[in-house]
Structure formats: structure tokens, C-alpha cells
């Protein structure tokens, strides 16, 4: 049986009031414990609140259910008098522990401090949070008037045991400001609403690494002369530290023509440093990788959304269009400017994370005399793929690979439209992406005969059969060491597309009709998902890649395409 008991005792201290608003101070301390599934879950919280204060003594019991409620009593004091109120609280179980959140609002400046201590199955985590919100109004009248400017600030400290002792503490501040310019006197007669906002925050990441990533670990199961043994399985890295990101955001919202048009625009700049990644190392060391802070990267971009609500006679048209652009760049990388990862990827200074590290094709050899001697001796002949000899040594090796391509689109977004005429409603939702590359690795096996599948039709019909017949498709032969199927720009394709994600046609019967059959509502509809796709991509679907790992992002390795679904339905309200 899992139990969770919490007690709270608030000490109250009054301060002087200012301009008719209360300015008391509240200190609080909460201690809790939980027992369940063989683990001890202590929790501690402290609160300090400046503003209208509330306090009291409460006792709550939480059972084994996933989502339960508690009941308590708060006493609220104000300068004008005394009030009595009850409140309800909720707690939700997440992962291996229970957490409880309480929100305290104030007209002045609430500051909340929350130390947390979690003891889970395989690690201990401690972190400290502080948060404050405030609002400011230039006018002298505070009652019944919305604030013109507002903001919030927060600070968090985290102490995970995944890192070495000297690198555990992480400090993450945040602040945001907003200005409702529509409340200013010079815009009081305008039907335009305009708001500006700006924010800054620092975040930390140490997910994806083991609980003892900074220590060398050993494991069993190794064979020593037919005898069982243990060996080092991972190297430790005591220099491992937090992956930290600083992000700046700025934007505005504007509403025009009495709400018919709403525009939202945002711009952001994010600098991430001390990137955590499993760095490949020589297997002669006994392992193949080590968790490291490999460098830093930069993301910057813009997002734009426009919503419209227009009356076209008897037809009501609602539309929402958005477009976004993000530019990613690696700004520092260990001691070198290039780090090969995976089978055909590399991290390179100044390039997008997830760029390909492949050979560049320069057409097809038309005559044997064009083939360099070093390659001719290895079996390369006329009709085979010509790769760019980057270093000019007359041979093709891994040193001739180039970093190219970008799995991220130049811009992407969606467009949703809804048309209503009396009880009839038509909805169309489009998504699109432009400028991203997709590496069609599935084509490698279908571009040469004698492999695990049939030859692709394009490679069969357009294959090289003699000088001048093709400068793109090689001869149909199982060539030397898979020469014609090397990782190259031959399989780097355009992943741009426009997709009709969904279309719905529905009809809602008039109330005067459905009431005759004793119903409150009746609607029938037909819906299609993934109705059509417009793209030059040669495969089934340019969106088959969902793996965000930079070694695999933007690669189609026979991924399952999205299904096309058609549905008929009815909604009945009794």
C-alpha cells in the first residue's frame, strides 16, 4: 500500500500596506514522505511569498490511485478584513515519484522557493527552484484595469548525481517581459490590439546519459580462455558537465479589423554549448565511444502565423496559415573541425548538424581510357560511376568524401481552412516543407543487379550501354566491391512536398429537425487523412524518417509510408 502524508505549517508576519494593497509576508515549510514499491521518496518544499498571504495547518492523505485529490483549509487575511475559504489540491504520479504543485497569486510580487529531493531506484536528484511574477500599470488606478506591462522571472539550481562532484551544480535563470501597447492612451480609440513580448532563459540538459556516466564501468560475460571474466565496458569522463542553452525570444501579436485578422510573429536565437554526445573512438581501446561535451551549436529562426475570420456572404471562412524557418550551425567542435559519425554523416564546423559525409558523383565513365590507372587495376571500367577525386591523388578513398546536404527545410508550415454554410462544413488541412534533403538509402540496393532486390525500373530502362547513352545511371553489373553503390550524392534527393493532411466534409442537422426525434444534436461527416502528396521525391514518402539522431535524421531506409485513411462517421447528442 502506497502512502503519502504531507503537513504544512505557515508562519505569518504582516508588513505595512502600500497604496491600499496588502503587503504581508508568508513563510512556509512542507515536509513529506512516501513509501511504495520498496523505495523511500522523501520530499521537501519551502515557500516565501511576498504579497497577499494565506496560511493554515493542513493534513492530506494520498492513496494508491494515479490521480487523487486532497482537501485543506486556508485562512486569508487582508487589510480590509478577514475571509475564510476552502481549497482543493491535486497530485499526479509521474515516473517514480509523486509531486504536488500549488499556485499562489498576488497583486504585488509572489516569490516561490521550492527545494526538491528525490531518491529514485538508481539515482538521487536535488534541485532548487525560485519563481516570481509581477505586473505594472503606469496609471494610478489599479481597480478594474488590465495591466499594460507584465513579466516574470525565475531561477533554478539542479544537482544531479550523473556528473562528477565538481560539475554537478547547474544554475538556470529566466526572465520574460510583455507590453500591451493597446492599453496606452494614444491607442485607446483604435480597434487594433498590439502586444510585444521578449524573454530570455537558460536551460540545462543531462538526459540521455547514464547514471554513472562520469565513472568507468565494468561488466561481465567476457571470455578469457573459455573462462568467464569481467572487463571495462565504458570509459569514465570526469570532465563531463551540463549541456547548457541560452535562448532569446522576441515577438508581437496584432489584431486588426475588429478581430477579423490576427497576426503572430516570433524570432529566436538559441546558443547551445557543451553538447553531450557519444564520441566515436578507436575500437583498439576496447570500447567504441565515450560520452563527451563535444562542442556548441547555434539555432536561429522566425515563426509567422496569420489567422483570419471572414464573411463571404452566407459563407464563413476561417483560415490559419503558419510558416517557420530555422537555421542550424555547428560553431565549435572539440580540437578538430570534423567528426565522422555513423555510416555517412559528419559533424563539421560551420555546417548543419546532421549533414552527410559522402562522395560526390561526377557522372559516368564513358570510356576505359578515362578511368585512372589505380581504379582500373581494381576493376573499374567504362559505365561505372565517376566519383570526384577531391585530393587529386588518382584514387578514391574516404579522404575524398565531402560534407554536403541539409536534412532541415528552408521553411515549413501548414495551412488550415474551414468553410461553413448553414449546417454544411468543409475543412482542409495542408502541410508543406521546402528545401530539405532526404538520403534515399533504400535506392542503393535497387540500383545494382544481383543484390537483395530487383533492379529499379529507372536504373534498368536508362542504364549505360555504351558511350553517350547515360551520364547518370551506371551499367547493370554487380561491380567491384559495390563501387556503383557507394554512399554518394546519387542518392541525396529533394524532400520538398505539399500534403493534404486531412479533409473533412460534415453536415449538422437543424435543431428543429433533430428535436422531433428527441435528440439534442446530429452530425454526419466523411473524413480523409493523407489524401494526396505532391513531391518530386522518388520514394514512397519524404516524411518517413522520424529518428532525430543526427546519424539517421533525414534518411529513408525503407521506412513505412503514412497510411491513407477514409472514414464515415456520425455524432449523436442525446
Q: What is the per-residue pLDDT across 433-450, written as a single tens digit (0 to 9) for each?
A: 999 999 999 999 888 887
Check residues 433 and 39 and name the one with the higher pLDDT. Answer: 433
Residue 397's contacts (CB-CB under 8 Å, 6 or more residues apart) are none
Q: How far apart are the first and last CA of the chain?
A: 41
Binning pLDDT at 50, 70 and 90, where does residue 19 land? Answer: very low
Q: Please give the average per-residue pLDDT across 236-262, as a whole number.
A: 93
Q: What is the model's pLDDT at position 33?
A: 36
- Kindly write down the DSSP assignment for every residue of 385-410, as one continuous string: EEEP-TT-SSS--GGG-EEE--SS-S
The CA–CA distances, whole Å, from 208 to 266, 271, 279, 289, 340 equal 30, 20, 13, 14, 20
Dihedral sign for Cα 69, 73, 76, 81, please. positive
Task: Judge whether residue 25 has pLDDT over 70.
Answer: no
What's residue 225's pLDDT? 76
CA 247/CA 361 separation, integer angstroms: 40
pLDDT value of residue 218: 83
Q: How many CB atoms lie within 10 A of CB 62?
A: 22
With cut-offs at 50, 70 and 90, classify the pLDDT of residue 127. Answer: low
- Of 99-108, 264-273, 275-284, 310-319, least confident by mean pLDDT is 99-108
Measuring CA to CA, how many Å separate 106 from each of 24, 25, 66, 134, 185? 10, 11, 31, 8, 26
The residues pairing with 3 across neighbouring beta strands, listed in sequence order, are 35
For residues 492 and 475, is the Cβ–Cβ distance under 8 A? no
Residue 315 confidence class, pLDDT cut points 50, 70, 90? very high
Report which listed range, 127-131, 144-148, 513-517, is most confident: 513-517
Give the pLDDT score at 328: 96
**Residues 271-284: tens digit of each pLDDT:** 999 999 888 888 88
Residue 107 has pLDDT above 80, yes or no: no
Cα 445 from Cα 261, distance rounded (Å): 51
Full-model pTM = 0.74
Task: Name, in order, each residue with C-beta under 8 angstroms of 507's C-beta and a sequence gap of 6 or more.
Answer: 423, 424, 425, 523, 524, 525
At 557 the three-state DSSP class reads: coil
Q: How confident is the model at residue 326 (pLDDT cuts 50, 70, 90)?
A: very high
pLDDT tens figures, 67-85: 223 333 333 333 332 222 2
484 has pLDDT over 80: yes
pLDDT tier for residue 10 given thresholds of 50, 70 and 90 = very low
Band (pLDDT 50/70/90 cuts) for residue 500 is: very high
pLDDT at position 126 is: 52
Round the CA-based radius of gyration of the chain to a whole number and report it: 32
Model confidence at 196, pLDDT cuts 50, 70, 90, reads very high
Predicted confidence band at 147 (pLDDT cuts at 50, 70, 90)? low
Mean pLDDT calculated for residue range 171-196: 86
The pLDDT of residue 461 is: 94
546 by Cβ neighbours in 10 Å (0-12 / 13-18 / 19+) ranks as exposed
Please report the pLDDT score of residue 452 as a whole number. Answer: 67
pLDDT at 129: 52
From 148, 138, 150, 133, select the one nearest 180 (Cα to Cα): 148
Q: Is the pLDDT of residue 150 over 70?
A: yes
**Residue range 367-381: average pLDDT?**
95
pLDDT band at 191 (very low <50, low <70, confident <90, very high): confident
* Mean local confidence (pLDDT), 312-320: 95
The mean pLDDT of 386-409, rounded to a whole number, is 95
Which residues fall within 8 angstroms of residue 445, CB to CB, at 6 or more apart? Answer: 451, 452, 453, 485
- Rounded to 5°, the CA angle 72-77-83 comes to 65
154-163, 491-500, 540-549 — which is least confidently predicted? 154-163
Amino acid at each position: 500500500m502506497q502512502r503519502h502524508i504531507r503537513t504544512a505549517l505557515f508562519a505569518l508576519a504582516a508588513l505595512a500596506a502600500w497604496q491600499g494593497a496588502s503587503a504581508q509576508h508568508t513563510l512556509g515549510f512542507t515536509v513529506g514522505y512516501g513509501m511504495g514499491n520498496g523505495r523511500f521518496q522523501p520530499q521537501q518544499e519551502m515557500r516565501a511569498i511576498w504579497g497577499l498571504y494565506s496560511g493554515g495547518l493542513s493534513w492530506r492523505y494520498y492513496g494508491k490511485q494515479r490521480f487523487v485529490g486532497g482537501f485543506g483549509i486556508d485562512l486569508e487575511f487582508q487589510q480590509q478584513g478577514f475571509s475564510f475559504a476552502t481549497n482543493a489540491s491535486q497530485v499526479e504520479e509521474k515516473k517514480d515519484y509523486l509531486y504536488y504543485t500549488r499556485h499562489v497569486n498576488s497583486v504585488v510580487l509572489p516569490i516561490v522557493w521550492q527545494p526538491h529531493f528525490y531518491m529514485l531506484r538508481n539515482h538521487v536528484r536535488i534541485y532548487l527552484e525560485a519563481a516570481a511574477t509581477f505586473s505594472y500599470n503606469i496609471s494610478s488606478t489599479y481597480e478594474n484595469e488590465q495591466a499594460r506591462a507584465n513579466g516574470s522571472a525565475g531561477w533554478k539550481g539542479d544537482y544531479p548525481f550523473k556528473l562528477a562532484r565538481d560539475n554537478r551544480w547547474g544554475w538556470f535563470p529566466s526572465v520574460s517581459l510583455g507590453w500591451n501597447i493597446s492599453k496606452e492612451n494614444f491607442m485607446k480609440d483604435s480597434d487594433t490590439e498590439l502586444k510585444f513580448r521578449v524573454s530570455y532563459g537558460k536551460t540545462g540538459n543531462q538526459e540521455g546519459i547514464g547514471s554513472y556516466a562520469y565513472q568507468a564501468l565494468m561488466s561481465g560475460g567476457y571470455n578469457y580462455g573459455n573462462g568467464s571474466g569481467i572487463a571495462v565496458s565504458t570509459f569514465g569522463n570526469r570532465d563531463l558537465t551540463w549541456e547548457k542553452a541560452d535562448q532569446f525570444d522576441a515577438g508581437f501579436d496584432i489584431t486588426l479589423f475588429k478581430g477579423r485578422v490576427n497576426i503572430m510573429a516570433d524570432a529566436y536565437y538559441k546558443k547551445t554549448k557543451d553538447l553531450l554526445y557519444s564520441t566515436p573512438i578507436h575500437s583498439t581501446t576496447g570500447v567504441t565511444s565515450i560520452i563527451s561535451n563535444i562542442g556548441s551549436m547555434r539555432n536561429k529562426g522566425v515563426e509567422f502565423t496569420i489567422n483570419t475570420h471572414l464573411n463571404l456572404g452566407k459563407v464563413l471562412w476561417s483560415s490559419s496559415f503558419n510558416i517557420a524557418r530555422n537555421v542550424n550551425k555547428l560553431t565549435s567542435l572539440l580540437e578538430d573541425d570534423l567528426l565522422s559519425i555513423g555510416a555517412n554523416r559528419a559533424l563539421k564546423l560551420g555546417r548543419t548538424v546532421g549533414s552527410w559525409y559522402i562522395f560526390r558523383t561526377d557522372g559516368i565513365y564513358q570510356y576505359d581510357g578515362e578511368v585512372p590507372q589505380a581504379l582500373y587495376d581494381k576493376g573499374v571500367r567504362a559505365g561505372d560511376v565517376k566519383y570526384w577525386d577531391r585530393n587529386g591523388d588518382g584514387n578514391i578513398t574516404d579522404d575524398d568524401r565531402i560534407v554536403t546536404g541539409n536534412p532541415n527545410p528552408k521553411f515549413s508550415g501548414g495551412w488550415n481552412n474551414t468553410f461553413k454554410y448553414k449546417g454544411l462544413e468543409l475543412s482542409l488541412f495542408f502541410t508543406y516543407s521546402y528545401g530539405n534533403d532526404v538520403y534515399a538509402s533504400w535506392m542503393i540496393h535497387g540500383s545494382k543487379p544481383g543484390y537483395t532486390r530487383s533492379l529499379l525500373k529507372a536504373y534498368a530502362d536508362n542504364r549505360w550501354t555504351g558511350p553517350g547513352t547515360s551520364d547518370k545511371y551506371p551499367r547493370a553489373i554487380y561491380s567491384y566491391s559495390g563501387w556503383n553503390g557507394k554512399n554518394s550524392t546519387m542518392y541525396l534527393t529533394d524532400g520538398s512536398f505539399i500534403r493534404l493532411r486531412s479533409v473533412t466534409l460534415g453536415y449538422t442537422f437543424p435543431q428543429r429537425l433533430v428535436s422531433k426525434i428527441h435528440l439534442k444534436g446530429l452530425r454526419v461527416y466523411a473524413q480523409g487523412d493523407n489524401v494526396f502528396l505532391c513531391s518530386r521525391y522518388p520514394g514512397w514518402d519524404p516524411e518517413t524518417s522520424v529518428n532525430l539522431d543526427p546519424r539517421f535524421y533525414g534518411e529513408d531506409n525503407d521506412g513505412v509510408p503514412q497510411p491513407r485513411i477514409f472514414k464515415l462517421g456520425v455524432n449523436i447528442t442525446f
